[in-house]
Amino acid sequence: MSLDETKLQDLRQSFSALHASDHPSVAEALNTLKENVVTYSGNTFYEELQSVSYNPDFQTLEAIFVMKQAFGYNGNLCTNGSFAFVRFYLDYGSGWEDQGYTGVNEHDIPTGTDCNKNPEKPLSYSASLKIAPKTAFCRVHVLPKVRAILEWNKIPPANDPNYNSIWGDRVDDFIQIRPIKEIIFKNPHLSQLIELAIAQPALKFADAAKIVPGGEIALEQIQASLLPQQLDLASLVTLYKDHSFVSPARFALKSVYAALQSFDSNIISQTIETWKKYGIDLASIIKELESTKANTSYEQLENVGLDYNLEQFVASFRIKRPGGYSGDLCHGGSMEYVAFWADWNNDCKWEYIGTTAVNVHDINNITADGLSYAAILPYDFTHKHKHCYNPYVVKIRAVLSWNVAPSATDPNKLEYWGNLMDKYVQVKPGEQIPVGSVIPYFYVLGGIPVDKISNGTGLTTSGAAFALNANPVESGAPFAGVVVIQGPSYPGYYYRIKVTNLITSAFYYLTDSLWLVGYHQFPLPPHNTYKTIVPDAGHYYAYQSKGLDFDDNIDNVLARWTPGGNDKWQIDLDILGIPGVFSKVIQMDNTAPVAILNIDNSGDCTHFHIGDTITGHYTATDDYISSYALSASFVGLVASGNVNTINTPFSFATSLTGSPCGSINLTVYEKTIHDSVSIGYYSNQQEIVCLQPKGK
């Protein structure tokens, strides 16, 4: 290790001790540390943000960053390690708007070599954040600027788009938001159909259509209006006749390719005659296509990574031109296909993973640098995990192809437009389940990995974080609201979940209908599918199907359960016909914190005068308290702590020159995880005080 690397490692360890506090007393130390990191060119020595992109169908921002070193991440995979956080911003033209953040767990991972003896670094991770963007109808292009900011072991501060990372960097780009669908209300029976569906919310829309006379026809018309019209050949010829940069070979690729792949002389002859009508020689198109391979003048694959949390493959690609994509946002456009491959065994043998697609269009006001898109492919990693003491680094490949699906048998084949890229990724450690094995198991409970929940207390343990975004959670946190249970799927098998109240010993089986989100490559985007499953008479649910290009349960949800109350529960999962039961304990806490604030004003709101000392008592309690803060607009923070306090006195002097009116606030925060997705719930009490002038 060089002198600079040794110095950076020392600075890295110092940062771990400093970063947790925003107190002014550490600000100077942090600034000094930042200056030293810059001096040794260390901002991106350990990790570096490389790209930010967006998937319009999943409404997901993707930031791909690389982890470069084998050390400096606070421990190996069997420890808590550290976190890389990415905060995202969007600018629609009037300034940056904070979208939130996500995190990825990092660890010290020795650098191995691949089958070609190349070092398996850097490792590519994708940090994902689902957003609810602003949008418009198809005639208005919504093309915001996006910014991603990377920081290590510290969440980039909110609403600070110009934050300068100590460890990390930031990347800007432009993206395209999917337009709002316009539903065409042409059928007179449609209003009756909507009325019935609203009056009977349990009734499926398709079933309502069968009841209302003419309802099924109305439903078909609605569905048709949601599918943008694909431009036919005549329309494409007209569209691009004045755009010399879009050649017939480009806009005719799909139809010509289909004819050539038919190997039918009659179809080919018909195609030749069709093109003659437009004054275009098919032979010249074929000649151009024969000389076009891996052309990146229209689109180009720029990055590839693995979403460590959601276990999805991600590839970012760039659209470079305003035209050549078969129609604008009000029409069907074309597809950018991305096929993913993996060398699972490090033997230089690629295995096809699957293909995904992103719908792209002509956008006449595209930015000079183009638009950045993300292709996302969910994947079933049930049989790919390894134990933490055995880091699993895999080489992956992405192959981009425009309007013609890439090969699913040849990882080296490049089509007419597109390119390929290889990267190394790290598969998240977990329960090692061999192919063909079925083991009763679930790995996430209430949003938290089960190995971060104590089976004695049912509370979170040190280093706990949300499984899907790595946002940290306090040790000793209970759960409230909806408890989501997630685990591997074994298609063809059936599971059931028994819950036992450990206070009363009463138990029951979960039997609620389970709503699931799936992913299907075909039909083409949007990829999400939705279904509801119910258990059988024995309380068993069916595990959902998975394949190369589809997954009926991408979030691996096995149950959503709302026990209520504040009791401790045991959750047992068994699989029909498979020996064994997987059990886990969870502690509930559905009681809000208590915040009581009393001011000693003798019942008279005019009791205090300017310059007086205000006194009172406060109570801040919760069974799982995180912290409390007592503050006053007159002086700022009055008292704070992280343990219960009952009827505690306080006092502070008011200023002779300050504002005569203000407020006193008591806020009590709890540790509790709510609805499996959020923390930071609190109770608050506020008292308004107006000081009287002296002598009154």
Statement: residue 1 has pLDDT above 60: no
Residue bearing the bigger pLDDT, 219 or 537: 537
Strands 479-480 and 673-674: parallel
Model pLDDT, residue 285:
83
Nearest to 466 by CA among 163, 149, 166, 128: 128
Q: CA-to-CA distance for 341 and 377, rounded, in angstroms?
A: 11
Q: What is the pLDDT of residues 394-408, one digit of tens each?
A: 999 999 999 999 999
Among 171, 199, 225, identify where a domain stops.
Answer: 225
The answer to whether residues 33 and 102 belong to one domain is: no
Range of the domain at 478: 444-587
Percentage, residues of the chain above pLDDT 90: 67
> Model confidence at 305, in pLDDT bands (50, 70, 90)?
very high
Statement: residue 117 has pLDDT above 90: yes
Average pLDDT over residues 88-113: 97
**Helix segments in 200-252, DSSP class H:** 205-211, 215-225, 233-240, 248-251
| Domain assignment of residue 437, yes or no | no
| Domain assignment of residue 603, yes or no | yes
Comparing 18-27, 423-432, 481-490, which segment has the lowest mean pLDDT?
Answer: 18-27
The answer to whether residues 336 and 421 belong to one domain is: yes
Residue bearing the bigger pLDDT, 609 or 116: 116
Statement: residue 4 has pLDDT above 80: no
Tell me the three-class secondary structure of 281-340, residue by residue: CHHHHHHHHHCCCCECCCEEEEEEEEECCCCEEEEEEEECCCCCCCCCCCCCCEEEEEEE
| Domain assignment of residue 410, yes or no | yes
Model pLDDT, residue 17:
57
The 10 Å CB-count burial string (b at 16+, else e) for 598-635 is bbeeeeeeeebebeeebebebbbbbebbbbbbbbbebe
Structure tokens of 187?
Answer: 């059928």
Model pLDDT, residue 288:
85
The answer to whether residues 478 and 578 belong to one domain is: yes
Model pLDDT, residue 224:
62
Strand residues in 528-681 grouped as ranges (E): 528-533, 541-542, 550-551, 557-561, 568-575, 582-587, 594-599, 613-621, 625-632, 636-641, 645-653, 661-670, 673-674
The SS3 assignment for 210 reads helix
Model pLDDT, residue 282:
78
Tell me the DSSP string of 157-184: PTT-TT---SS--EEEEE--PPPBP---
> Could you tell me which residues are beta bridge partners of residue 590?
none
Q: CA-to-CA distance for 314 and 311, rounded, in angstroms?
A: 10
> Model confidence at 184, in pLDDT bands (50, 70, 90)?
low
Measured in degrees and rounded to the nearest 5, phi and psi for residue 269 equal -65, -40
Model pLDDT, residue 200:
73
Q: What is the pLDDT of residues 528-566, one digit of tens each?
A: 888 999 999 999 999 999 887 788 999 999 999 999 999
Q: What is the pLDDT of residues 119-153, one digit of tens each?
A: 999 999 999 999 999 999 999 999 999 999 999 99
> Which amino acid would we find at residue 188?
P
> Model confidence at 696, in pLDDT bands (50, 70, 90)?
low
| Domain assignment of residue 185, yes or no | no
Model pLDDT, residue 22:
59
| Domain assignment of residue 457, yes or no | yes
Structure tokens of 67?
Answer: 């982890």
- The angle subtended at Cα 302 by Cα 300 and Cα 308, nearest 5°, is 135
Statement: residue 339 has pLDDT above 80: yes
Among 290, 308, 333, identify where a domain stops.
Answer: 290
Contacts of 634 (CB under 8 A, 6+ apart): 614, 652, 654, 655, 658, 659, 662, 689
Number of neighbours of residue 506 by Cβ within 10 angstroms: 10
The answer to whether residues 314 and 167 belong to one domain is: yes
Contacts of 379 (CB under 8 A, 6+ apart): 311, 312, 313, 340, 353, 354, 551
The answer to whether residues 583 and 600 belong to one domain is: no
Q: CA-to-CA distance for 573 and 442, rounded, in angstroms?
A: 8
Comparing 212-226, 281-295, 659-673, which segment has the lowest mean pLDDT?
Answer: 212-226
| Domain assignment of residue 377, yes or no | yes
| Domain assignment of residue 388, yes or no | yes
Greatest distance between any 2 Cα atoms in the chain: 106
Model pLDDT, residue 64:
98
Among 521, 555, 587, identify where a domain stops.
Answer: 587
Measured in degrees and rounded to the nearest 5, phi and psi for residue 314 equal -135, 135
The answer to whether residues 34 and 49 belong to one domain is: no
Nearest to 433 by CA among 585, 586, 582: 582
Measured in degrees and rounded to the nearest 5, phi and psi for residue 282 equal -60, -35
Residue bearing the bigger pLDDT, 467 or 201: 467
Nearest to 61 by CA among 156, 129, 134: 129
Tell me the DSSP string of 403-439: SSPPPSS-TT---SB--EEEEEEEEPP-----TT---
> Which amino acid would we find at residue 102?
T
The answer to whether residues 602 and 624 belong to one domain is: yes
> Model confidence at 189, in pLDDT bands (50, 70, 90)?
low
Residue bearing the bigger pLDDT, 417 or 223: 417
The average confidence (pLDDT) of the chain is 89
Model pLDDT, residue 689:
85
Model pLDDT, residue 279:
77
Taking a C-beta distance cutoff of 8 angstroms, is the pair 370, 318 a contact? yes
The answer to whether residues 104 and 51 belong to one domain is: yes
Measured in degrees and rounded to the nearest 5, phi and psi for residue 101 equal -140, 165
Model pLDDT, residue 6:
79
Average pLDDT over residues 190-213: 73
- Sequence length of the chain is 696
Q: What is the pLDDT of residues 364-399, one digit of tens each?
A: 999 999 999 999 999 999 999 999 999 999 999 999
Sign, CA torsion 190/193/199/201 = negative
The answer to whether residues 344 and 458 belong to one domain is: no
- How big is the chain by its Cα radius of gyration, in Å? 30
CA 54: distance to chain centroid? 11
> Could you tell me which residues are beta bridge partners of residue 87?
101, 149
For residue 451, the 8-state DSSP code is G
| Domain assignment of residue 435, yes or no | no
Model pLDDT, residue 264:
66
Q: How many structural domains comprise the chain?
A: 6
Measured in degrees and rounded to the nearest 5, phi and psi for residue 90 equal -125, 145
Taking a C-beta distance cutoff of 8 angstroms, is the pair 375, 336 a contact? yes
Average pLDDT over residues 564-589: 97
Structure tokens of 572?
Answer: 């047992």
The answer to whether residues 1 and 135 belong to one domain is: no
Residue bearing the bigger pLDDT, 630 or 192: 630
Model pLDDT, residue 600:
87
> Which amino acid would we find at residue 243?
H
Residue whose token pair is 């109570």? 619
Pick left, alpha or beta for residue 131 (phi over 0 → left; psi -120 to 50 → alpha; otherwise beta). Answer: beta
Model pLDDT, residue 461:
96
Tell me the DSSP string of 22-74: --HHHHHHHHHHHHHHHHTT-TTTSEEEEEEEEETTTTEEEEEEEE--SS-SS
The SS3 assignment for 469 reads coil
From residue 671, alpha-carbon distances to 561, 563, 643 in Å are 20, 18, 12
Model pLDDT, residue 8:
81
Measured in degrees and rounded to the nearest 5, phi and psi for residue 495 equal -125, 160
CATH number, position 610 = 2.60.40.2470
Model pLDDT, residue 183:
65
The answer to whether residues 548 and 616 belong to one domain is: no
The answer to whether residues 381 and 457 belong to one domain is: no
Average pLDDT over residues 169-174: 97
> Model confidence at 486, in pLDDT bands (50, 70, 90)?
very high
Model pLDDT, residue 230:
85
